[in-house]
Structure 1
Amino acid sequence: MSRSSSAARQPCRRRWAMPARRSSRRPRRVDPFLSSRSGAEPMHANDIKRLRSPRRAVLLATVLLALAPAGAGPACAALIGSAATPARTSASTTLRVCADPADLPFSSNQPNRPGIYVALARHLASQLGRPLSIVWAPTDQDEEMLHKTLLAGTCDMFIGVPAAAEFLDGKVILSHPILTAGYALVRPAGSGIDDDAALAHHAVAVQFASPPQDMLSRRQDVDAVTVMSPEEGMADLKGGQVQAALLWGPSAGYLNQAAGSGYSITPLQGRHMQWQVAIAFAPAARTLRARVDRALSDDPGFMQQQARQYGFPGSGSGIQQAAVMNEVQTLKVPAITKDTAPSQDLPKSETAQDQPGPAAAGDKGTREAAFTPAGGDPVAGHSMFNGNCAHCHGPDAVTGDGRVNLRLLQVRYGAGMDQMFYHTVTHGRIDKGMPNWSGVISDQQFKSILAWLHSVQAKA
């Protein structure tokens, strides 16, 4: 996908529907999780990665982090052994923990840099008096991995899953929450960009298909630059292309630490921004879970020490176990409503009978009926689309969500495609988070975007 900072603002907002993990890998998504027993927000579907299947239930289901040996990022979930597998609780029995071999800061097969999950696994094995065996399992394909390891009884536990009782439909039991993790604001130390107001009129890198991207898409005063990974966002910060970044916190913190800690990192607060993380066990492993919970409560300082070692956001002042840190700043974004959005018409449904027609009143209606891509520059339109519209419609208009797939406009609306496009971008759809962009993006720019969209339409 070609990246570009939006010259104005993002004319569309990604729909809520899945989560995503933020590490060096490609973004993942996952289904939103129900609220956790501790009251944390459900995960954004792009942050845990299709643990169920809805779209990866997150594209990158973001693997949410938790601490412990197993696991791996935002999208991995865990299930410890299947229900049919008897719990292994003997002190002499090896404690088997699944972990991703290349997912720092969470886990790694590097002896000198094992990651916070593996470090926790070693600590728990020592506390329980059991030898440890790490079962390496790449988490790129989370759902398949879980079936082949945890659900198949290969592991006794998996660290790094959402602390939600409804996780995986209750097929696993969970430890008490062990960590809170999520997205963070990253900026040069001393920059003065310390709250949401300070983001105004700055170029800000934001991860694709993430809750912060949804948040920024509602802002009219921020020059958002879409990035596909924390590494890319940190590189843009270093290169001066952006003045701040909204990234997956654990990865950004780890990268910052490795580069000399030249950036200030503050966890973002708000809906879908932070989650609590737990360890998953098979339903039959209640005794093991109780022992693990006891070991964790007996030594809470271990988690704080590991968080500091791997640069987790907020760990400088101590991470509060099983609780969202209350000292971090909150970035609040005013909600767009019918009363607060400028010149917005109420959205129409996408049904054929509700498509805009020549009945639209006044000069705007005349322009709408006659609007075509004639004279538009598809090359410029392509770049403009990726800079402004990829936030909800996907880079190059490629998305697995058919509801926002603009490559299907011709299939849906036929000869009315141009009119529907123009009506939507100039009227907005408030209920879907998309504002009215007339007066912000010119008709000529709309023509260029539409000209490019015509070049990528799917065949009926």
Structure 2
Amino acid sequence: MPATHLDKRTTSRTTWTHASIPTLAVILSLAAPAFRAGADEIKPLRLCADPTNLPFSSDNASMPGFYLELGQALGKALGRPVAYNWYKSYFGKRTVRVTLLGKQCDAMIGLPLSEDFMGPAVIFSKPLITEAYVLVSAKDGKVSSIDDLKGKRVAVQFLSTPQNLLAQLDEIEKVTVLSPEEGMKVLDQGKADVAFIWGPVAGWLNKTEYGDRYAIQSTEGLGLSWISAVGFAKTSIELRDQVDAALPSLETTIAGLIAKYGFPTDRPVKFNAAPTATKHAFLPASQALPIVLAQLTTVAAATPEAVSAGREVFNGTCAHCHGPDAVQSERRIDLRLLNRRYGDDMRETYWKTVHEGRPSKGMPAWNEVFTDEQLDNVYAYLLTLQTPSN
């Protein structure tokens, strides 16, 4: 969940949306008799939420965050009180497994609407909003393309898509930061000319801490933007359908929350082209396959179907270390460079590594986890991503 920037310790507790249970009782006592009669049967809508993750969520009742305020509106539309299971989302998919899939809550707002996210275990509502990385700059120096970044100092988040995108552009000076907060800070201190950071947080900080003095340009492209939605366990189809039915009535509420929390709403700039040397790495696998195989040893298993299956295994298992779709700025674990490193020995090196692992470097052996056919599919997929040798 790329939108989170959190502590490394977890907490897990449930609290009511209202200030206290007695307060809730007073509110319910004022409701219509029919509602009061069935109050004992109405179960709260339990939402997974991070207590310290503004502008998305907070356990501060005076500033609960976009997701929590939307959750409150959903609860009202469904006629259900709202309760929260607090859990730090620093752990990404682990958070989803522990809370949502662990039946500690009924829904989680703000998950990426993607078939690649948690596979079939999670189902999604209709789209909520698009979230993206943004380029933050002085208002008189607005950036509209990658070319506008040449010769500039650009603050980029560590291990992010922007860092990977700019990694091989030597004409851009990269200033590595660990968070959007740090990116805004170095920009404000004059240590960077542009910050390429997570948009919702940048917009929130620009609105609340920097007096709206910076221009914010949204981006879109592979790994730069995605649609967020409400996520549910796959068994919660009925609740998902109820939420979908309620969302159209909340369009005005959502628009108001977008403005309140400073989420960028400008028209995004498309970043579709990578540097020339790695351009094919950003093509769909079906297009990249003939380009790369023309330069490498032909592999019989490298059919479009095998490539697709290999991509699924790779992103579900290997992306944790090597990056989604193998986009990785750390050259020592950048699998797009396998052909450059090993040449004719690439296949043999790959096979030995996935079968035996490299325990001293944290690389496990996968031969008892995946079949040889699956590992062949991953290899076929990696072939489509190789940077051609010079």
Change (3 A) 1:338 1:103: closer
Change (3 A) 1:435 1:248: farther
Change (3 A) 1:432 1:208: farther
What is the SS of the residue equivalent to 1:177? coil
Aligned-pair distance for 1:165?
3.6
Q: Greater helix share, 1 or 2?
A: 2
Q: Structure 1 length as normaliser, TM-score? A: 0.53
Aligned-pair distance for 1:123?
0.4
Change (3 A) 1:174 1:347: same
What is the SS of the residue equivalent to 1:300? helix
Residue pairs, 1:178-217, within 5 angstroms: 178-217=128-167
What is the SS of the residue equivalent to 2:111? strand
Alignment pair present for 1:25 and 2:6: yes
Q: Kindly, what percent of the aligned residue pairs are identical?
A: 31
Partner AA of 1:128 in structure 2: L
> Per-residue displacement from partner, 1:306-359 (whole Å, max 9, x unpaired)?
111111112xx6xxxxxxxxx32234545424999xxxxx9999xxxxxxxxxx
Residue pairs, 1:18-417, within 5 angstroms: 21-25=2-6, 92-259=42-209, 260-314=211-265, 327-337=267-277, 392-393=329-330
> Per-residue displacement from partner, 1:62-92 (whole Å, max 9, x unpaired)?
xxxxxxx9xxxxxxxxxxxxxxxxxxxx982
CA–CA separation in structure 1 for the residues paired with 2:276 and 2:107:
43
CA–CA separation in structure 2 for the residues paired with 1:216 and 1:400:
14
Aligned-pair distance for 1:138?
1.6
What is the SS of the residue equivalent to 1:152? coil
CA–CA separation in structure 2 for the residues paired with 1:295 and 1:328:
28
Aligned-pair distance for 1:172?
2.4
Aligned-pair distance for 1:276?
0.8
**Contact 1:22-1:229 at 8 Å conserved across structures:** no
Say what the alpha-carbon RMSD is for the aligned residues. 3.7
CA–CA separation in structure 1 for the residues paired with 2:260 and 2:389:
43
**Contact 2:110-2:229 at 8 Å conserved across structures:** yes
CA–CA separation in structure 2 for the residues paired with 1:334 and 1:147:
34
Q: Equivalent residue for 2:32? A: none
> Per-residue displacement from partner, 1:151-196 (whole Å, max 9, x unpaired)?
2222111112121245322112211111111211111112243332
**Contact 1:269-1:329 at 8 Å conserved across structures:** yes
Q: Structure 2 length as normaliser, TM-score? A: 0.62
CA–CA separation in structure 1 for the residues paired with 2:278 and 2:48:
49
**Contact 1:204-1:222 at 8 Å conserved across structures:** yes
Partner AA of 1:300 in structure 2: E
**Contact 2:187-2:195 at 8 Å conserved across structures:** yes
What is the SS of the residue equivalent to 1:160? strand
> Per-residue displacement from partner, 1:30-57 (whole Å, max 9, x unpaired)?
xxxxxxxxxxxxxxxxxxxxxxxxxxxx
Change (3 A) 1:434 1:112: farther
**Contact 2:277-2:388 at 8 Å conserved across structures:** no
What is the SS of the residue equivalent to 1:313? coil
**Contact 2:169-2:275 at 8 Å conserved across structures:** no
Aligned-pair distance for 1:214?
1.7
CA–CA separation in structure 2 for the residues paired with 1:273 and 1:298:
29
Aligned-pair distance for 1:275?
0.5
Partner AA of 2:2 in structure 1: R
CA–CA separation in structure 1 for the residues paired with 2:120 and 2:57:
25
Greater relative contact order, per chain length (Cα 8 Å cut-off, separation 6+) = 1
Could you tell me which runs of 5 or more consecutive residues in structure 2 were left unpaired when the two chains were aligned.
Answer: 9-16, 18-39, 281-293, 298-327, 342-356, 362-383
Partner AA of 2:228 in structure 1: V
Q: Report the number of matched residues.
A: 277
**Contact 1:163-1:174 at 8 Å conserved across structures:** yes
What is the SS of the residue equivalent to 1:247? strand
Could you tell me which runs of 5 or more consecutive residues in structure 1 were left unpaired when the two chains were aligned.
Answer: 1-19, 28-68, 70-89, 318-326, 341-345, 350-390, 413-429, 437-460
**Contact 1:22-1:247 at 8 Å conserved across structures:** no
CA–CA separation in structure 1 for the residues paired with 2:187 and 2:63:
25
CA–CA separation in structure 1 for the residues paired with 2:58 and 2:278:
49
Partner AA of 2:264 in structure 1: P
Partner AA of 1:119 in structure 2: E
Change (3 A) 1:191 1:139: same
Partner AA of 2:125 in structure 1: S
